[in-house]
Structure 1
Amino acid sequence: MDIKDINQNQEDIPPPRIIGLTGGIGSGKTSVAKILEQKGFPVYYSDDRAKNIVNQDPELKDHIISLLGDEAYLDGIYNRKYVAGKVFNDAGLLDQLNHLIHPAVKIDFEKWVSAQTSEFVFKETALLFELKLNEQCYKSLLVTADDNLRIKRTMDRDDKTYREIETIIQKQMPEKDKIKLADYVIYNNSDRDDLIIETDRFLDQLV
């Protein structure tokens, strides 16, 4: 199913309905987002937009430097590796950083949504349920997979060890809790062809 099948014959387009798209590391969340884009659906990539915002917003830069020190930026560019090291084992510091970045992303997202004409738009974010962003969405879609498969995919993609990825997974909200909160769930334990089929099934249910 493509977006043209959903939007055909619409003369007066209502405000877009927001679908929250989430999934843990190695789940295939971004793969689903790309499939949706290929079908014509607008997708807002929260992490990518945040990367731009922390580099482009002077006031936000000042606040982050005040919180984490001058090393948070190298030659004016956000030092993600340094910041990740500072907040990874410090929940309080991470919470303070999130309270700086997320409001700026929220404003950016609202501007983005206002420029869309599709009936449905997707907000891709890893923290949909952790930040209760699903409460601002029409529906939520979770992409999940078996832990061992998620770890293998991430090892193939990133320069990280099994233990490093396992630690990241352990710090994320448990999959069983996300499944309970999600309106729709795609189990991505097979190949891309199967993922496309499952995405189409989700779109059928959405309509």
Structure 2
Amino acid sequence: MIEEEAEPEPRENAKIIGVTGGIGSGKSTVSKFIEEAGFPVYYSDVRAKTIVNDDAELQEKIKKLLGENAYDENGFYNRRYVGEIIFKDEQLRLQLNALIHPAVKIHFKNWVAEQTSEFVFKETALLFELKLNESCFKSLLITADDNARLKRVMDRDQKTYREVEAIMDKQMAEKEKIKYADFVIYNNAGLDELKRETEKVLANLKVIS
């Protein structure tokens, strides 16, 4: 009789590593490298985009804040409409974040409880802005020169220089993020170098764990 290999038990105290970076920095690419190395990655920003459609209670709260047009005729989150409103109104943007992020936080907590790895990685654009780094074991910032980030987003999203610049202006300055980060990867030299730098961070984490 062949014994089946037992499933790994979830860890009670997995070490959370926050992964962040401004628009066009390459944080999603680094997160993919981390996954390829065998570590679980939670994509907070992706989850936030789905939870607004999955969570009925959250939907009602968003409609109350932004109006019925926050969802289209098919009942799906009207991302373009919402984006236009909150881009012009900082208070509305903060209020919307205050609705969405607690729901993501609960989902993340449940996700962590299911993991078996010593390290779990949480990718989020607002790691430092929301002080989420305070609940992390370590934080990793991916950054790059402003011109490189601008060009990447313009090519990727077909946005104009001014449109991307306006988005960047609303984000925390890179020099401020660097002050908070435990590890910093500068993404200015191509994918091969970016992967090598990611591997260095992973190796360092194993040493200090």
The TM tier, using the shorter chain, reads over 0.9
TM-score using structure 2 length: 0.92
Query: 8 Å contact 2:12–2:113 — kept in the other structure?
Result: no
Label 1:15 to 1:69 Cα distance change in 2 as closer, same or farther (>3 A): same
2:101 is aligned with 1:87: no
Q: Distance in 1 between matches of 2:172 and 2:44?
A: 18
Query: 8 Å contact 1:15–1:117 — kept in the other structure?
Result: no
**Which residue does 2:189 correspond to in 1?**
190
**Which residue does 1:37 correspond to in 2?**
35
Shift of 1:168: 0.7
Q: Which amino acid aligns with 1:82?
A: Y
Q: Distance in 1 between matches of 2:47 and 2:12?
A: 25
Q: Distance in 2 between matches of 1:17 and 1:83?
A: 35
Q: Which amino acid aligns with 1:163?
A: R
2:19 is aligned with 1:16: no
Q: How many residues align?
A: 198
Shift of 1:14: 4.8
Q: Distance in 1 between matches of 2:10 and 2:51?
A: 33
Label 1:203 to 1:66 Cα distance change in 2 as closer, same or farther (>3 A): same
Q: Distance in 2 between matches of 1:50 and 1:25?
A: 16
Unaligned runs of 5+ in 2: 1-7
Query: 8 Å contact 1:64–1:100 — kept in the other structure?
Result: yes
**Which residue does 1:6 correspond to in 2?**
none
Shift of 1:72: 0.4
**Which residue does 1:73 correspond to in 2?**
71
**Which residue does 2:51 correspond to in 1?**
53
**Which residue does 2:3 correspond to in 1?**
none
Q: Distance in 1 between matches of 2:154 and 2:173?
A: 20
TM-score using structure 1 length: 0.93
| Stretch deviating more after TM superposition (141-150 or 14-23) | 14-23
Q: Which amino acid aligns with 1:38?
A: E
Alpha carbon RMSD of aligned pairs, Å?
Answer: 1.4
Shift of 1:11: 9.2
Runs of 4+ in 1 over 6 A off after TM superposition: none
**Which residue does 2:154 correspond to in 1?**
155
Q: Distance in 1 between matches of 2:80 and 2:119?
A: 35
Shift of 1:159: 1.9
Shift of 1:204: 1.7
**Which residue does 1:177 correspond to in 2?**
176
Query: 8 Å contact 2:10–2:114 — kept in the other structure?
Result: no
**SS of equivalent residue, structure 1 residue 121:** strand
**Which residue does 2:5 correspond to in 1?**
none
Query: 8 Å contact 2:17–2:120 — kept in the other structure?
Result: yes
Query: 8 Å contact 1:14–1:119 — kept in the other structure?
Result: no
Query: 8 Å contact 2:10–2:115 — kept in the other structure?
Result: no
Of all paired residues, the percent bearing the same amino acid is: 64
Of 17, 20, 25, which residue of structure 2 is paired with 1:27?
25
Shift of 1:12: 9.3
Label 1:11 to 1:103 Cα distance change in 2 as closer, same or farther (>3 A): closer
**SS of equivalent residue, structure 1 residue 36:** helix
Q: Distance in 1 between matches of 2:78 and 2:123?
A: 23
Q: Distance in 1 between matches of 2:99 and 2:123?
A: 19
**SS of equivalent residue, structure 2 residue 88:** coil
